[in-house]
Chains A and B, each alone.
Chain A
């Protein structure tokens, strides 16, 4: 498709502000003005709408395709939450209003949403307090590690390491590093669990925190998690829970009950807010009681008269990690989702998500290598190692699935599984959809043996064939340039 800039025509307008009613035109002094106007496309409103509508049709999305992208929890995003988030009272509210004298009473609805969401998340995770401010999962991780640093500093303890297993999300070590820590990586043992002997070896009074995903990125719940938590605490380290996989745990198991000190959640995963093509997300962080005083300011409090207010009076707070109160529009959708599902609905989410993943695992384990043959939780991880013998790699399988109308699973992650295929069906997908996916995966396994070139050519039915990623990186073309 042509770029929007290639559809430009001088003199066309898609929007007008009308005549400026106020005055005789004033001019900003020339020395402050740009010499060259921005080269932007000029089109009619229809041109713009048709361009982006047609672009939208080139995407796979949850609303159009099965999207079992492991670790991303691509469940259905209920439509009513979009409607709720579009209520003018929420949409138009200036974030500084409650910070003005007399403005707090005009923000009571939004403050209540933040307060009540925090309360629900506390109960779901068994944590004492939450900050709703982090703007994404990795942003929550960074906030969480900063809270841990503030805690140790307050105790006068100098610790310089954060431990992560080698199966962790890349964001865990990256967040720890940005917060100023050195990272120690623990290998995964042959049983699929973090190697406990190695862990004990690395654990010392210089370790600030241990960051774990639970269930881990292999989709497995580590039954020795409590032992790890106790060991870490004994060494004075805090336990960090990466909540990317909380979907499997709702109503079944709570990080706070296990002994985790800090938890981040991905509202755009577990709580059904849409991913928006990569964002916005929201990554609220929950903490145990001993860490609550370090949470970012402002915090939302409920006064004795039942009204809500912003409270800045926490002198040990780490400060500001976002300009305001978090991605409010996202938090609101998550709140609406929790209200409609309630206790039974949320528990059912975990049950059916785990059922769907185990069903995929059971149906596909004869066709693909299962590196760690265990009961899985909300996702299962296969390896395409068997198919590689015929020259078919995980990426080829992904491209063939695209041709068949399925978004591929996550591939090549976790890094510890060669040729990984990480499948997370989520609870909102029906047996029929999953069966169709399984049939295609079995067809691929057969074709890999019989006619691998057919898979390696894929995709053939998409607007583009396989794209040259090496060329894109070698000679980057990152924006359209006007012809002069």
Chain B
């Protein structure tokens, strides 16, 4: 099967029109010595066989676990209408909307997406999306380096280690100086921040809620960062923004984050959605596609890709970024998801997450041998100190049907007994209670 519609007669007529006698002749520019030395690929199979093979593989994945693992990637409910819209092939089989007159659907949807990202983060401008939360954070950092002409970056160690590792990987050939400031009692240490902040600093980067689930008001820190002419960047969890103080309200210059929680399935790590918003004055430093509103020759409203002189297809090695693809289909899922929830629904979602996590904390108090860390307020995720190695507990809980949390020892030295537990709106009271009953058994 190759989805090729050509009949033998079609091929014959086309070869005649070209003026060659065989398809092989069309490949004559490839020297014989450079032809494929092997092409040892299994023979094709019919659709029902391939579907069956892959269905069987899908069943080898254990997805029946009751999930309390988050660590930046959350098990949220996705309304069926999101799938229905993202499944419209007029959306998913289109390309980047280079030709606006035949892409108004996509362009308007992205303009609406940009608007919801601005509304969620409280900042002025958004782009049309980036690959994921980690690459979005890297792009934000590079914006700050270009904007300030400086090369020192201060990182809060409450930023997901996966993202910090990505930043280090991407900059291994660039001369960028990184300083990490510690988290003390769940919160980013202001004392250490102020010690390292100077007029060589390009940006200070925080995460809210941080990796331990703790929420903070960074207004004071951001204010101090600005005194040194540096930019403040926040990596945020969009569902939490139904409740939490926004990056805009705290004075941040750029916000980025992982948009997976907005109607995008976990799907073993991708495709996800990197989002980015910033203050107006930074728009020309932004990477990626941006959609703008304009008018047509009759004065009617329409949408186009805009500010393209930032981009690689025009500026080449002087572009703000090398990005060409974005995650438009995931951005569409996000805007449909948020539109379905609406003003009240998003707040309700955030409240359910917060309250269910608080309920789980209270129930955990029943277990005398564990300690819930309560030095900071948290959103829907929190740390628990166990009387034994968290890795072992996780393993035993999997046997009981629970993905009970993320063992912090995997990312942080000296935290082998700590477990990071996430509780989303999907977890029922019964599941939370069963989780704690089983935890009691394995401890």
Contacts and interface: CB of A to CB of B under 8 A. Distances in A.
B34 A277 contact: no
Contacts of B46: 340
Interface string B276-301: 00000001000001111111111010
B188 interface: no
A17 B345 contact: yes
A407 interface: yes
A94 B10 contact: no
Closest 5 CB pairs of A and B: A324-B269, A342-B44, A89-B58, A106-B62, A276-B329
Nearest to B347: A37
B294 A345 contact: no
Contact of A479 (B115, B173, B295, B307): B115
8 contacts: A14-B81, A16-B345, A20-B355, A26-B355, A59-B104, A74-B93, A277-B110, A322-B166
Interface residues of A, number: 207
Given A279-B129, A322-B270, A352-B6, A375 B29 contact: yes
A362 B19 CA distance: 8
A178 B322 contact: yes
A137 B45 CA distance: 28
Contacts of A484: none
B348 interface: yes
Interface in B387-404: 391-392, 394-396, 398-399, 403
B58 A109 contact: yes
Given A275-B94, A323-B132, A465-B298, A146 B41 contact: no
Interface string A78-96: 1010111011111111111
A279 B114 contact: no
B410 A99 contact: yes
A378 B59 CA distance: 39
A83 B135 contact: no
B195 interface: no
B30 A41 contact: no
A32 B377 contact: yes
Contacts, number: 702
A112 B321 contact: no
Nearest to A317: B169
Interface stretch (A195-203, A284-292, A326-334, A444-452): A326-334
Contacts of B307: 473, 476
Contacts of B91: 56, 59, 61, 276-277
Interface string B225-264: 0000000000000000111111001000000001000000
Contacts of A399: 101
Contact of B425 (A17, A336, A429): A17
A22 B429 CA distance: 5
Contacts of B31: 223, 226
A326 B165 contact: no
B434 interface: no
Interface in A101-126: 101-103, 105-110, 112-113, 120, 123-124, 126
A48 B340 contact: yes
Contact of B45 (A339, A346, A363, A375): A339
Contacts of A67: 95
Contacts of B55: 84, 87
Interface string A1-39: 101110010001111110011110110110111111111
A471 B294 contact: yes
Contacts of B351: 20, 25
A113 B268 CA distance: 11
Contacts of B89: 61-64, 77, 274
A253 B15 contact: no
Contact of B131 (A38, A54, A136, A469): A136
Interface in A384-421: 398-399, 402, 407-408, 410, 413
B132 A38 contact: no
Given A17-B345, A38-B242, A252-B36, A110 B322 contact: no
B61 interface: yes
A436 B70 CA distance: 53
Interface in A306-348: 318-330, 332, 335-336, 338-348
Interface string A463-484: 1111111011100111110000
Interface string B311-338: 1111111110111111111101001101
A180 interface: yes
B290 A177 contact: no
A127 interface: no
Contacts of B73: 94-96, 323
Contacts of A344: 2, 43-44
Contact of B399 (A57, A83, A102, A181): A102
A189 interface: no
Contacts of A299: none
A45 B413 CA distance: 48
A223 B39 contact: no
Given A149-B173, A275-B95, A472 B306 contact: yes
A282 to B, nearest CB: 8
Given A88-B58, A174-B316, A377-B26, 5 more contacts: A94-B67, A109-B58, A221-B30, A252-B36, A462-B104
A90 B10 contact: no
Interface stretch (B120-128, B177-185, B196-204, B365-373): B120-128
